[in-house]
Structure 1
Amino acid sequence: MAQKMTGALVFDERTDRYDIRFDLASYYGGLHCGDCFDVFTRGKWKPTRIEMNMAQEWYLVGIRADDLNGLRVRI
């Protein structure tokens, strides 16, 4: 079984989508609607996926967050 990598969600204004930053120079490569990963919230890891609503706003399914930037995730 492959080990999951942990990072933080960051918004890439050039591509208008979220990415996962693993360290200073290492990124996942851009997230797309339907991409699945885990997010650390309320002291535990929860599975989720990223989607975009009709207002062109990104959100995580089943996760309440006003701002996705900086959320700890693993993939």
Structure 2
Amino acid sequence: MKQGALIFDERSDRYDIRFDLADYYGGLHCGETFDVMVGGRWKPTRIEYGDDWYLVGIRADDLSGLRVRI
């Protein structure tokens, strides 16, 4: 598994995972699953889109910067 941080790519209007300065996942699509660090523990989730992007079961005002692993 690789760890990184969620970032919003304005060109594609979707979230991506940044692993390193020039290493990206390539864009997340609805239904993709991964783990997110919440309260010091990894929690499984998936990304979805409604009125905006959100993670199922995760409360966050802004997804950018959240630590994830995939």
RMSD over aligned Cα atoms: 0.3
Could you tell me the TM-score, scaled by structure 2's length? 0.99
Provide runs of 4+ in structure 1 moved above 6 Å.
none
Give distance in 2, aligned partners of 1:32 and 1:65.
18
1:18 maps onto 2:26 in alignment: no
Corresponding residue to 1:32 among 29, 32, 53: 29
> What runs of 5+ residues in structure 2 fail to find an aligned partner?
none
SS of 2:61's equivalent in the other structure is: coil
Corresponding residue to 2:47 among 46, 50, 62: 50
1:71 maps onto 2:66 in alignment: yes
Give distance in 2, aligned partners of 1:29 and 1:12.
10
Which residue in 2 is equivalent to 1:6?
3
SS of 1:64's equivalent in the other structure is: coil
> What runs of 5+ residues in structure 1 fail to find an aligned partner?
none
Could you tell me the TM-score, scaled by structure 1's length? 0.92
Identity between Structure 1 and Structure 2 (%): 76
The structure with more radius of gyration: 1
Residue-by-residue CA offset, 1:35-67 (whole Å, 9 max, x unaligned)? 0000001110000000001x2x00000000000
